Every structure is written in C-alpha cells, then in structure tokens.
C-alpha cells in the first residue's frame, strides 16, 4: 500500500481519536460545568440541546464550504477550534461566556464530524476495502481515554480549566502536524476529484448531485442508531440503579462496558465487512443491538442488564460507520455533500433519543421505554440493501487489487 495513503490513514485515525477524547471530556463533565456556571436544571437542557443543533448547522455549512476548499483543510482548522472551545468551556465564570464557548464547540464539531467522515470515505475508496470501522474504533478509544481522564479530574477535584488545558496542549499540536498528511481523494468536493474515473452512483443526478429521496433511508438508519446510542449514554446509569436496583457504584459501569464493546466491535468489524460484506455485518449488528435492548427491558437484575448493554455496544457500533460508507458508495461523485447531509441526522438522533426515552419512562415505565429504541433500530433491517450499492461492496470478492498513491493532499484514485 502506498506510503502516502498509510500516512493519511494514520493521521485521520488520530483525528478521530482526538475528537473522541475531546467529546468525552465535555459530556462526562456536564455536572461540573453546571456547577461552575450556576446553570439551573431548567436551563441546562437548552444548553445541551443547543450543541447538537449548532453542530447540524456546522455540518450544513461544511457541505457548502467543501465546494470551494478541500475537506482536509476544513478538518485541519476545525479540530483546533473544538479543542480551544473545550478550554473556553473550562475557563469562564459567567453564562454568556459558557454560551459562546459551547456555541463555538457545536459549530466546529459539526464541521469536524462531517469532514472527518468525508476523508474516511474517500480513503476507503482509495484502499478499495473496508477501513471505515477502524477510524470509528479510534474514536471509541479516544472516548474511553477522555472518560478516564474525566474520572481522574473528578476524583482529584480538578477544576475544568486544569483538566482541559493539558489535553489541548498535547492534542492540538499533534493534530496540526498530522493534518499535513491528510489525503483528499475525491468525493465530489473541490472540483469533484476523480469524477471522470467513476460512473454515477445509484442516487446521483446527471450532474453529480444528491437525490435526497435515495439518501433518506440511510438518514433514518443514522437517526435510529443515535437514538439507541443516546439511550445508553443518558439512561443506562439511571436504569440500572432505579429499575434494576444496582448500587450507585455499579450503575456507572454500563456505559464504560458499552464503550469498550464498541471499541472491540469496530476493531474487528472491517475484517467482517471484507469477509461477509457490509449488508451481512449491518444485519447482524442490528439484530444484536435489538437483542441487547430486549435483554435490558426484561432483565431481572443488574448483571443481566449489564449483559444487555454489552450486546448493545457490539451491535450498534457497526451501523454508523457503515452508514457513512454506504453514502459514499451511493454517491461516488458527490459523497462529500451526501455525508454532510447524513451527518445532520447524527445530531437529530442525539436530540430525540434522550427526551424520548425519558418521556416514555415517565408516562409508562422504563422497561417499556427500552422497547421503543429497539423497534427503531430494527427498522435498519428494512433498509439493509442500501448498504450494498454497485461494485463498491468492499469484501466478498469486491475488493480492488490495488490503490494509487495520491500523496498528502493529493487527488484522484
């Protein structure tokens, strides 16, 4: 494999890792942020909802921006803004200051998530085999590291500023240096690099545009996957303690188990896609995730509930990376635009998931509420064929024999 592609893959994997750590450091310290700024319980949901809403705006803006500049340049400068915004969250002492910092974080995260996945899809195209799950495995690893650092900060009662500054000092220069090895490999952006080398995708218009009706099934899959993910992140501890009667200490374990299983599942997921194809992997992941919700809903005690959250991590972890990859195959000449639009539904699922389960739990019961994200995740089975488009089904005899070295910042495949 060409040196330029390997360097680009490593640099992008580190970017995913850094983003996973940064995001975990923010979301796991929300109680401390609330205390530092005196944010009331009534106002907190507005602050929390504003971040994914602005991230969606950032993703929309990125779709337009990459028509003029390469996704690698968007990522190169979005990641430092995210890190500096994290420091800003820890540095202030008034509501306007934290509002500005969180707004900057949200907008930059939208651009960061979109551009990272654009580069991941284009690199996968260059490699001619599934590597997308590996990037998201790096994100999961970063999340575990970030959550662990947050635990250390809470244990030693470090201020947010003291916790966040060293992280930014370490990650920011490394991200900037690594950004010089990013590889742009054509996805319809900045002149549709390589457009003459691929036919139109199943969902593309004659001019290479995105037909949203064709993208919609993947958008729904993305939303339902993130509804499942946000259910775990927001309700696993409360569910284990209040419904299954676990101790306060044990109730903190399910999310950590979930994150570890997403890392393990994604670490081996690419091999599964190469061997069995994306459709089979997504179907199995969907069934495992649905089984996890069923186990959680029916669990007689905390340890069985833990098994359910373990299954959820293994099942859900493969769906999101493969959804981005499928969009790239559906729209080979306009994949950047497709991914930017698809990325918005990441935040839609995140916004819907937590209040949906909470409202159902209060109005009905939390065991029954767990069946709703289970049913939504199962809808993925109806759209499984969207994950096998044309000759781009990496694995199962569809891999390309070689890839061309495009070098850092190069174009064409």
What is the percentage of the chain residues whose pLDDT exceeds 70?
Answer: 87
pLDDT in tens, 310-368: 999 999 999 999 999 999 999 988 999 999 999 999 999 999 988 899 899 889 899 99
Q: Give me the pLDDT at residue 399, please.
A: 42
pLDDT in tens, 168-216: 999 999 999 999 999 986 443 333 333 334 455 555 554 557 788 889 9
Q: Per-residue confidence at 394, pLDDT binned at 50, 70, 90?
A: very low
Q: To which residue do tokens 């690099």 refer?
A: 193
Q: Please answer whether residues 357 and 231 qualify as being in contact, where contact means their C-beta atoms are separated by less than 8 angstroms.
A: yes
pLDDT tens-place string over residues 36-60: 999 998 898 898 899 999 999 999 9
pLDDT at 267 over 70: yes
> Which pLDDT tens digit goes with each residue over 396-405?
433 444 333 3
pLDDT value, residue 250: 80
Q: What is the pLDDT of residue 403?
A: 38
Rounded Cα gap, residues 142 and 16, in angstroms: 8
Instruction: Answer for the pair 156, 52: CB distance below 8 angstroms, yes or no.
Output: no
Q: How far is the CA of 323 from the CAs of 219, 226, 320, 327, in angstroms?
A: 8, 12, 5, 6
**The tokens 């996945």 sit on which residue?**
117
Q: Which of 344, 302, 296 is nearest to 316 (CA)?
A: 296
Give the torsion sign (CA, 346, 348, 354, 358).
Answer: negative
So what's the pLDDT on residue 401? 41
Residue 237 main-chain phi, psi, to 5 deg: -65, -45
**Domains defined along the chain, listed by start:** 1-192 (1.20.1250.20), 198-392 (1.20.1250.20)
Q: Which two tokens stand for residue 177?
A: 């240096």
Q: Residue holding tokens 């284990």?
A: 240
Q: What is the pLDDT of residue 398?
A: 39
pTM over 0.85: yes
């Amino acid at each position: 494999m060409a040196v330029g592609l390997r360097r680009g893959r490593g640099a992008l994997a580190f970017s995913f890792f850094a983003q996973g750590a940064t995001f975990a450091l923010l979301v796991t310290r929300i109680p401390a942020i609330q205390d530092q700024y005196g944010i009331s319980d009534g106002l907190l949901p507005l602050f929390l909802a504003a971040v994914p809403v602005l991230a969606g705006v950032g993703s929309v803006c990125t779709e337009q921006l990459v028509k003029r500049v390469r996704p690698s340049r968007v990522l190169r400068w979005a990641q430092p803004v995210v890190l500096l915004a994290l420091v800003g969250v820890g540095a202030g002492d008034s509501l306007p200051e934290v509002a500005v910092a969180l707004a900057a974080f949200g907008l930059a995260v939208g651009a960061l998530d979109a551009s990272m996945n654009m580069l991941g899809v284009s690199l996968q195209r260059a490699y001619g085999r599934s590597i997308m799950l590996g990037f998201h495995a790096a994100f999961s690893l970063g999340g575990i590291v970030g959550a662990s650092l947050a635990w250390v900060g809470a244990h030693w009662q470090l201020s947010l500023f003291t916790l966040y500054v060293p992280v930014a000092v370490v990650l920011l220069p490394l991200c900037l240096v690594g950004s010089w090895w990013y590889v742009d490999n054509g996805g319809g952006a900045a002149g549709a690099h390589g457009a003459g080398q691929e036919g139109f995708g199943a969902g593309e218009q004659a001019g290479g545009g995105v037909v949203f009706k064709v993208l919609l099934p993947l958008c729904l899959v993305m939303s339902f996957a993130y509804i499942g993910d946000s259910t775990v992140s927001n309700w696993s501890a409360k569910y284990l303690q209040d419904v299954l009667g676990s101790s306060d200490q044990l109730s903190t374990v399910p999310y950590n188990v979930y994150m570890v299983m997403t890392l393990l599942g994604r670490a081996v997921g690419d091999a599964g896609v190469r061997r069995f194809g994306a459709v089979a992997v997504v179907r199995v992941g969907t069934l495992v995730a649905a089984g996890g919700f069923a186990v959680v809903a029916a669990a007689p005690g905390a340890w069985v509930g833990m098994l359910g959250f373990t299954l959820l991590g293994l099942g859900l972890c493969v769906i999101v990376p493969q959804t981005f990859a499928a969009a790239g195959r559906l729209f080979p000449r306009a994949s950047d635009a497709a991914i930017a639009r698809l990325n918005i539904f990441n935040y839609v699922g995140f916004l819907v998931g937590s209040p949906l389960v909470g409202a159902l739990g209060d109005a009905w019961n939390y065991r029954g509420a767990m069946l709703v994200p289970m049913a939504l995740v199962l809808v993925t089975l109806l759209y499984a064929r969207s994950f096998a488009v044309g000759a781009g089904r990496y694995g199962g005899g569809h891999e390309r024999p070689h890839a061309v070295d495009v070098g850092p910042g190069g174009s064409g495949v």
